[in-house]
Amino acid sequence: MPDIYEKTDPSVRFEADGVKAAAFSAVTAQPAPRKLGDWKGFVRIASDFDEWPDDLAEAFGMRGEARR
């Protein structure tokens, strides 16, 4: 089994006439280590990212009549 997987118990084993026929066990993939800067040049955050349109801000009580 590749080393990127980790075997975890419980496992299920099947036998037919005393002969092992199959075995199943849970495996979980190990996440690859993250390297900072992998997305550099692929993602751009707009300068108005944190600004809400007036209608939504008012609907959520962030400004305008709904805030009063």
Q: Is 55 in a helix, a strand, or coil?
A: helix
Q: What is the pLDDT of residue 3?
A: 45
Domain count, the chain: 1
CA torsion sign, 44 to 48 to 53 to 57? positive
Containing domain of residue 30, as a range? 5-67
- Residue 5 reports pLDDT greater than 60: no
42: pLDDT confidence band, cut at 50, 70 and 90? very high
CA distance 36 to 54: 36
pTM of the model: 0.31
Residue 1 has pLDDT above 70, yes or no: no
Which residues make Cβ contacts (< 8 Å) with residue 52, sequence separation at least 6? Answer: 60, 62
